[in-house]
């Protein structure tokens, strides 16, 4: 599945509800999912790995990001290609 296919699937399944909630409300859900991912990563670092939960939280974060992109009319695949692939991508890295 490509990023575009995933984003389309999320749009087809959830757009009516998500767009009614709007970007600010959806962003709050997204941030909550990022927090749940942070908790799963922290558990992993503490030696309490729950791989299934960790994978679920990664999937939730991607799904809510796709939801936000849909509401904001952003093509994630294009945005990623423009920033990270076109012209060799950005120089440098964050340490």
Structural domain boundaries in the chain: 3-15+22-73
- The yes-or-no verdict on residue 91 having pLDDT over 80 is no
Q: What is the pLDDT of residues 1-59, one digit of tens each?
A: 999 999 999 999 999 999 999 999 999 999 999 999 999 999 999 999 999 999 999 99
Q: What is the pLDDT of residue 95?
A: 66
- The DSSP line for 1-67 is --HHHHHHHHHHHHHHHHHHHHHHHHHHHHHHHHHHHHHHHHHHHTT---HHHHHHHHHHHHHHHHH
**CATH classification number, 3-15+22-73, choose in 1.10.150.20, 1.10.287.1080, 3.40.50.300, 3.30.465.10:** 1.10.287.1080
In which band, very low, low, confident or very high, does the pLDDT at 62 lie, cut at 50, 70 and 90?
very high
Whole-model pTM? 0.89
3-class secondary structure, 70: helix
């Amino acid at each position: 599945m490509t990023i575009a296919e995933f984003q389309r699937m999320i749009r087809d399944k959830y757009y009516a509800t998500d767009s009614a909630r709007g970007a600010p409300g959806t962003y709050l859900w997204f941030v909550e999912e990022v927090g749940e991912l942070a908790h799963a990563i922290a558990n992993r670092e503490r030696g309490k790995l729950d791989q299934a939960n960790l994978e679920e939280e990664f999937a939730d974060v991607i799904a809510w990001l796709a939801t936000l992109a849909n509401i904001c009319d952003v093509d994630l695949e294009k945005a990623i290609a423009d920033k990270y692939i076109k012209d060799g991508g950005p120089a440098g890295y964050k340490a």
